[in-house]
Amino acid sequence: MGRGVRPPAARRERLPGRPRAPRGPARHRRRRPHGEGLAMTDLPRLTSLDAEEITGARVLHDLDDLDRPTWLAHRKNGLGGSDAAAILGVSPWTSSYTLWLDKTTDASNDQSSLAQRRGTFLEEFILTEAMVVDPDLQVYRAPYMLGDPDHDHLFANLDALCTHLRRRGWGGGEAKNVNTYQRHEWENGPPAYYEAQVGHYFGRCPNLAWWAVMADFGGDDLRVFYLDRDEVPVDTITERELAWWQTHIVEGQPVPVDGHPATTELLAATPADPGSVRTFGGDDLRMIQAWFIGLAATKAEMEQLEADEADAKNYLRQYLGEATELVDEAGRTWATWRPSKPKAVTDWRAVAADLAAELAEHADDDAEDLLTGTAADHTTTKPGSRSLLTAPGLKLIKES
């Protein structure tokens, strides 16, 4: 998987075979102390001829010349990097079904999310700061839609092209603005959905040897991960993409619905016709019956799995007894079972009944004092419940 680079980067001897500088930008740049960034406009921009020569792909469009509607229209005509994860079934945001609808219907989703707009806004900032994190990295803007040398419907929109003092050949660059809550997904390098995107780009750009994935986690945490071509299943990704396009676009076979959240969200937005009824019979009867048989079997299996989970956790609770942490001989934590903080619980129904009686008997007394005193009489402190957390042990089992 990708290897993260954190500041300051260690200096090593320069490897032979560093690529020549492109026409236009200077070959060398001043070394920057950590914390000293460049203005966004200082990122050198490659020409289309440079981009073609460096990547081995064909330049289809200059993205700086395209407005969003035109860019979306071009995207419908093929598969880009973000589509690869959906086809492979590893995208958190898009399913194969919603991707198929996007490519085959006129209803294009031209509304970007706040996270997408933030990522676009921060892109050049991340690219620039990555050169501070790893001073051996040089980033060039390459704002082009690149076409596959052999397949017209496969293209790539790269964030950047890069060189590195300690890496051979040219590489690609991808800037990611990462949600803080997704930080754990990057413990072993870029997650599968971004690795699929990089694999797609490798397939379109046969001359590139590596990829720098620059991830901004917020605060002072910006890292650069490197993926080499031989670390990513480029051929498998391309084969899956070609098969998907041939089956579902060229031959017109619909993609079956699935349980992906994106599919669920899309279907849930289907408008309802109040009072309408759909009656089924004939061949549909067997199909509907099969769905419900499968649903019943799945629910029964889930109930059994939940019971098995409860059994396993109770075995752990019994084993722990009064102990609050389960640790092996190597000092690794497998589970914790700690009590939460005690909390005060008030029986407000009893308070209301007593307060009504008190007010009736002592109408001249201060109502606030009566409420405070009555509430205190019906408030008890309950000890905090113990919460069994097994995530550490499950992680250890997964890694073993």
Other CB atoms within 10 Å distance of the CB of residue 47:
14
Q: Cβ(24)–Cβ(115) under 8 Å? A: no
Question: Which of 146, 171, 175 minimizes the C-alpha distance to 78?
Answer: 146
Q: What is the pLDDT of residues 80-119, one digit of tens each?
A: 999 999 999 999 999 999 999 999 987 555 566 676 677 6
Weakest-pLDDT range from 161-165, 191-195, 198-202, 345-349 = 345-349
Q: Which domains does the chain have, with CATH numbers?
A: 3-26+33-247 (3.90.320.10), 339-399 (no CATH)
Weakest-pLDDT range from 249-263, 321-335, 346-360 = 346-360
Phi, psi of 327 (to 5 degrees): -130, 140
How far is residue 332's CA from residue 392's CA, in Å, rounded to a whole number? 9
How far is residue 260's CA from residue 266's CA, in Å, rounded to a whole number? 10
Question: What token pair was written down for 164?
Answer: 């590195």
148-172 per-residue burial string, b: 16 or more CB within 10 A, e: under 16: beebebbbbbbbbbbbbbebeebbb
DSSP 3-state of 59: strand
How far is residue 133's CA from residue 174's CA, in Å, rounded to a whole number? 15
Phi, psi of 239 (to 5 degrees): -60, -40
pLDDT class of 341 with cuts at 50, 70, 90: confident
Weakest-pLDDT range from 18-22, 259-263, 266-270 = 18-22
The percentage of the chain sitting over the pLDDT mark of 70, rounded to a whole number, equals 82
Q: Cβ(336)–Cβ(325) under 8 Å? A: yes
Distances (CA, A) of 184 to 180, 188, 197, 247, 389: 9, 9, 19, 36, 17
How far is residue 83's CA from residue 169's CA, in Å, rounded to a whole number? 27
How far is residue 154's CA from residue 60's CA, in Å, rounded to a whole number? 11
Q: Which residues contact 85 (CB under 8 A, 6 or more apart)?
A: 91, 94, 192, 193, 194, 196, 197
* Average pLDDT estimate for 191-196: 96
Burial class (CB in 10 A: 0-12, 13-18, 19+), 291: exposed
Q: What is the pLDDT of residues 41-74, one digit of tens each?
A: 578 999 999 999 999 999 999 998 888 888 888 8
Other CB atoms within 10 Å distance of the CB of residue 189:
20
Question: Which of 101, 157, 162 minimizes the C-alpha distance to 136?
Answer: 162
| pLDDT of res. 393 | 80
pLDDT class of 356 with cuts at 50, 70, 90: confident
Per the listing, tokens 């031959």 go with 251
Q: Which residues contact 374 (CB under 8 A, 6 or more apart)?
A: 351, 354, 355, 358
Q: Is the pLDDT of residue 212 over 80?
A: yes
Q: Is the pLDDT of residue 15 over 80?
A: no
| pLDDT of res. 365 | 56
